Structures are given as C-alpha cells and as structure tokens.
Amino acid sequence: RVANLYFLLTAILSLTPVCPFSPVSMIAPLAFVVGLSMIKEALEDWRRFMQDMKVNNRKVSVHKGDGEFEFRHWEDLCVGDVVKVEKDQFFPADLLLLSSSYEDGICYVETMNLDGETNLKLKRSLEVTLPLEEDETFKDFRGVIRCEDPNASLYTFIGNLDYERQVYALDPSQILLRDSKLRNTAFIYGVVIFTGHDSKVMQNSTESPSKRSRIEKKMDLIIYILFTVLVLISLISSIGFAVRIKLDLPRWWYLQPQNSNKLDDPTRPALSGIFHLITALILYGYLIPISLYVSIEVVKVAQAHFINQDIHMFDEETGNTAQARTSNLNEELGQVHTILSDKTGTLTCNQMDFLKCSIAGVSYGVRASEVERAAAKQMASGAADQDIPVQDVWESNEDEIQLVEGVTFSVGKTQKSSIKGFSFEDDRLMQGHWTNEPNSNMLLMFFRILAICHTAIPEVNEATGALTYEAESPDEGAFLVAAREFGFEFFKRTQASVFIKEKYTSSNGTTEREFKILNLLEFNSKRKRMTVIMRDEDNRIVLLCKGADTIIFDRLAKNGRLYEPDTTKHLNEYGEAGLRTLALSYRMLEESEYESWNAEFLKAKTSIGPDRELQLERVADLIEKELILVGATAVEDKLQTGVIMICWFLSCYVADPAITLVAVLTCYVSSHIVSGSSVH
C-alpha cells in the first residue's frame, strides 16, 4: 500500500531533529494500522492453513504387507503404495486403477473439482489386474510401472505396467486423479503414481497472485494525488521559509541569529529550506487519511462475517454456509467483468433425441425437427409479409401444417416423445418391419454399429428395472436408446465383450449375442471418429467405424461408395434441419491382416515417449481405410424454450444469418442477465 510506505517513511523521519512532533505520535498510528491488517491476514491465513491440514490429515486405507491394510494420513503416502478408496471419498493421489467392486473393473469418477464437469467419467482397469479384488490378493502382488514424468496435462498419460513378465500399456482411462471423487462404486484398489506436488492437479496450481480490489487501487490513486498536493504545499512553505531566513532573520535580534543551528542558519538558507521541507511534510501529513484504511479494514471484516451468516447462501443439501476465506475482495463479489458463451451452451438443452437416419441410401424418419417446425409455421402463416402478431403464430395449436401439396409436418403438442432420447417415427423400421426392407443386411449392420461402437456402460434402475446407459456423451446415449427401440438392446459389457439382445434376427425370438471386442480406437477432437474391431459369433473380424462425414468419406473404398451420393444429399437435408449428423461404416478384415496390424498397434501402444500419440494415429490410419458406407444418423439437440421464437422473429427483419445469430445470442444472454437467471 502506498499509504503504508508514506507512514513508514514519516515514522523514520520522526526520529530525526527535523520532526516537529514526538516520535510516538507518528509511530503509534502506523503500528496500529499495520498491526490490525497483520492480525486480519494472519487469522485468514490460519484458517486456510487449517483447511490444508484437514486435507493432509485425511485417512485412506493402505496396504502394509501380507494382504493387510491400515489407515494412513494422505501426507504419509508414498509412490508405489496400494490404497483402497471407498464410495464418495476423494482420491488422495494420482492412482492407477487396479480393480473395483464391479466384476469388470469399472468405476465412476466425479471430476467437478478438476474441470467443473458434473457428469460422471467412466474409468476401467486392465483385465490382467481384475483378480485383485480383495485385501488378501495383494499379499504377493508385485509390479513395475514405467511412465512419463510429472506434468500438468489432465487428459493424457503415457506409461506401461510390467506385471507377471508381461508389459501392458496404460492410458488415461486407467488413471484416477487426485481431487476427483469416487461415485456409484463401492470401492476401488489403486496404486499410487504421483503424490503431493507431483500430482497433476498440483502441477496445474499456480502461486496465488496478490489480488487487490478496485477500491484499494482507487485509494492508492487518491493517495498519490494528496501526496502531490502535500509536496506542493510543503515546497511553497519551505521556499518562503528559506527567503525569510535569509532576509529577515538577521534583523530579528530577539531570536539570537548568531546562535542559530543549521535548521535556521541565515548563512545557509538553502539547507535550512530543505530541512524545513521535511518538517512541513511531517507537519502537514494529516492530509493523508490513515484512519480511512482502518475504517475499510473494519468494514471488510464485518462484511465477511455477514457473508458467513447469510441465510440466502445456505446450501440445504450439504448443510454448509458460505465461507469468506479472505475479506480483501468483498466489494468485487457479484461484479460481472466478462461473459464467455457459445451457441451450444446458450441456445440448447444438451438433450439429444434420435430423430432421423439414412441407411443404404434411403432416408427414414418422418418427424420434423424444431427448426423444420419453425420454418413450417413461418411459411404457413406468412407472418413475415403480413401484419400478423408474432405471439398468435406461436400459440397456434394446429397439429399439422401443409407446406406444399402432399407434404405435411406435425407441429402441435402431440410431438412430444414418451421415450427420452428417441423421437424417431417411421413404421418401415419399427416393430421388426425393417426385415422386409430391400437392404435388410445393411439395416442389420447399421443397428449393430449403433449397439456395439461405443464406450457406454449399462445400469439397471433398481426402482423400475429398466436399463439406463452411462455414456461419455449424450449422443452415444441417444444411439443406444435408438438401437434398443429397433430391437438391438445393449445390456452387458465386460472387459473383452459386448452383449446384445436381438429381437428380430432369428425366428426363435430374442437372441443374446456376444461380440468380442478386440480393439477400441477412441473418439477425440482431432480424429473425429471412433472405431471398434470386434469378432462376431461366426468368428469374423469386423471393423465398425463412426465419425464426421468428411472423415469417413475420405476413407471409403471404391466399392464402398455405392450410397455416398444419396447419403450426402440426406446429410445436407439433416444439416439444414438443425440436426447433428454422423456417418457409419464398416470393413471386413482377414485374420492375417488383423494379426499383422495388431502387432504394430501393441508396439505403438506400449511405447513411452512424446511421440506415442503420433504413433497410435499412424497405426490407426493403416486399418481405418477401405471402408464401406452404411448410412448416417441425425440427432436433434433440443433448443431451450423461446429460442425458436426469437430466431424466427429476428429472421423476419434481418437478412444476414450471421447477424441474426449474433442478435439472438445478445438478446438471449442479455435477457438472462436482466432477469437474474444463471447463464451457462
């Protein structure tokens, strides 16, 4: 603080003969102000220290040898320790998942403290460590982990596990990060990889910056202005003093000028003026308001107390009140500086519904999307060219609107689907009628891709007995619900297999089929595709691939482009209807070709180095080619209430679509800020 520097300087000068006051009168206010700030900061630091101690003194069950576990503090964990973490507990360090209460070694993790995501992440252990499911099984457990050095990347991990004379590749799906929480899983066993400041969450932490509120910064500016005025006044006073000392002091015999000291020496008026400048700075120093800082410190402490006691910020679910860990920034609370938003999080609900699909060049699905229904209402009403109130158009309860002769769209309230994630409607595919279609083999492959090419886990709802799916994205969940409604129900997953109940593929009724998963090439933003290589019950090796249409089309074989023109046409139509699309394809593999490729894949997967991802991408490109196009999916991301009406209204008056989108975002965000709603 600028004021503290000033008062410190004046306190030092008060110890010199030029000071017109007692040193105590200058030092005491500074000691009081600084002491009060020190006490406040010390109290808040002590509270933070106690919170750190509370975390470090948490206990976790650690293997001490001979298959026995004991509780140990987090701060005492070492790399290589085997720990047991139970449901709803935080992970004490970065762990390699060995096994869990689920027989296939999966667990659910909440990473809210790491990335703010509330949806659960699925983690899966290596198949070779699945037998380590009880305390006694760790009696003779030995292994060696070779991995990358500690780093701040939360979403990557490169390493190998050397266990029972075999080397197994490790990836992020087996890593449990510190500060994430175990959910929906009774317990897990894991081995400590990184602890303390080597853990990824600590690698991402930075030293807390010195934060100062805008009021404090403005006070510093005021101090600068007042100090400038003080120096100006003192300078004028010292110049006048030097002039009077030189001209008048020799005539003032009663002051005994012959005995003057250097503070008022008429023979050296300049030096006397400098000394008087220092005296004036101290004498007029009360122009700097030290009491203002005391008042602000007291007010801030009181505000922090009121925040802690505020009933409106009480969380009934957890029973916790707000905690003001520091009072330095109280006045900054509630001040919006920047709003970052995009159209996905602002305009949609992130609720995916399977609406349409294109299979073997034929488009299926007769229901209209929200965008199509909006366009239908606009065209039917002619409100853009006629004097019709907007609200009247959108409150219309008509069930159908005819655009051209023979083409109608359902737009009324009967649109709402009773199955979450599935709004598809077409009798040609429902209730097993797809078996009567000309290209039933391609339809079968399409449904199997939906049911097999994913990373989701099925869960049984204990209340209803129905299956639900824990998927990494809402799109995958919608695909699995659609596959189930078409008669291909994914109901079980193990480390090596996926199990499907197929209703209409056999004359014997529902048939349970097992598809062995040989390899999984996961989706990411760079690859824009996902591939599963599986072995079916006829011992055939089949590659199933889904991804962005541009990526899939570039990898099609010459004989796999039969349906490309029709599929492209349908994809354009789905895009215009505001739907999210993916292309589906497959490829039959020879045993020798697969074995040769798999050896390359395992070699790349077990390599340790910065180019591991590049090697995996290169090997994936070797097999993800010569594909045969099956079709495409169209999923609707539901829009939030009122968005369509705003878009339609603006489109009546704004010709440029880009300007329309910007206007919609501005109106929508602004309306939520004004109304006090949360902006995602």
Instruction: Please report, for the domain that includes residue 517, its CATH number.
Output: 3.40.1110
Find the range with the poorest average confidence among 513-517, 611-615, 657-661.
Answer: 657-661
Is 137 annotated for ligand binding? no
Domain contains 220 = yes
Instruction: Indicate whether 274 and 215 sit together in one domain.
Output: yes
Q: Indicate if the pLDDT at residue 399 is higher than 80.
A: no
Please tell me the distance from the alpha carbon of residue 371 to that of residue 221, in angstroms, as a whole number: 55
Instruction: Indicate whether 281 and 146 sit together in one domain.
Output: no
Please tell me which residue in 140, 342, 385, 538 is annotated as part of the active site.
342
Find the range with the poorest average confidence among 428-432, 460-464, 664-668.
Answer: 664-668
Instruction: Indicate whether 158 and 227 sit together in one domain.
Output: no
Domain contains 649 = no
Please tell me the distance from the alpha carbon of residue 584 to that of residue 652, in angstroms, as a whole number: 37
Instruction: Indicate whether 594 and 470 sit together in one domain.
Output: yes
* Confidence grade of residue 657 (pLDDT, cut at 50, 70, 90): low
Is 523 annotated for ligand binding? yes
Instruction: Indicate whether 156 and 240 sit together in one domain.
Output: no
Is 220 annotated for ligand binding? no
Chain mean position to CA 123: 17
Please report the pLDDT score of residue 398 as a whole number.
Answer: 45
- The question of whether 342 is a catalytic residue gets the answer yes
Domain contains 566 = no
Domain contains 427 = yes
Print the domain residue range for 427: 419-561+580-637
Percent of the chain having pLDDT more than 70?
Answer: 84
| Mean pLDDT computed over every residue of the chain | 82
Instruction: Indicate whether 108 and 80 sit together in one domain.
Output: yes
Structure confidence by residue, pLDDT tens digits, 425-441: 999 999 999 999 999 99
**Domain closes at, from 232, 264, 288:** 288
Higher-confidence residue of 507 and 432: namely 432
Neighbours of 490 (CB within 10 A): 24
Instruction: Indicate whether 188 and 259 sit together in one domain.
Output: no
Q: Region 650-670: what's the mean pLDDT? A: 51
The one-letter amino acid at 385: D
Please tell me the distance from the alpha carbon of residue 642 to that of residue 399, in angstroms, as a whole number: 19
Structure confidence by residue, pLDDT tens digits, 285-320: 778 877 777 788 788 888 888 888 888 888 887 788
CB 266 within 8 A of CB 249: yes
Would the CA dihedral through 657, 658, 663, 666 be positive or negative?
A: positive
* Confidence grade of residue 396 (pLDDT, cut at 50, 70, 90): very low
Per-residue tokens: 466: 């129905």
CB 293 within 8 A of CB 33: yes
**3-state helix vs strand vs coil in the chain, percent to 5:** 45, 25, 35
Instruction: Indicate whether 152 and 253 sit together in one domain.
Output: no
Is 476 annotated for ligand binding? yes
Domain contains 515 = yes
Instruction: Indicate whether 175 and 94 sit together in one domain.
Output: yes
User: What is the residue whose two structure tokens read 């999984």?
Assistant: 520
If one counts the domains in the chain, the total is 3
Domain contains 284 = yes
Instruction: Indicate whether 425 and 505 sit together in one domain.
Output: yes
Q: Indicate if the pLDDT at residue 44 is higher than 60.
A: yes
Instruction: Indicate whether 126 and 173 sit together in one domain.
Output: yes
Percent of the chain having pLDDT more than 90?
Answer: 34
**Domain closes at, from 170, 185, 204:** 204
Is 656 annotated for ligand binding? no
In this prediction the pTM is 0.65
* Confidence grade of residue 540 (pLDDT, cut at 50, 70, 90): very high
**Domain closes at, from 288, 319, 338:** 288
Is 344 annotated for ligand binding? yes
* Confidence grade of residue 342 (pLDDT, cut at 50, 70, 90): low
Structure confidence by residue, pLDDT tens digits, 80-117: 999 999 998 999 999 999 999 988 888 889 888 887 77
Instruction: Indicate whether 184 and 221 sit together in one domain.
Output: no
Domain contains 177 = yes
Please tell me the distance from the alpha carbon of residue 136 to that of residue 67, in angstroms, as a whole number: 4
Domain contains 183 = yes
Instruction: Please report, for the domain that includes residue 76, its CATH number.
Output: 2.70.150.10
Contacts 24+ apart (CB under 8 A), 339-345: 339/669, 339/673, 339/679, 341/665, 341/669, 341/679, 341/680, 343/661, 343/665, 344/637, 345/680
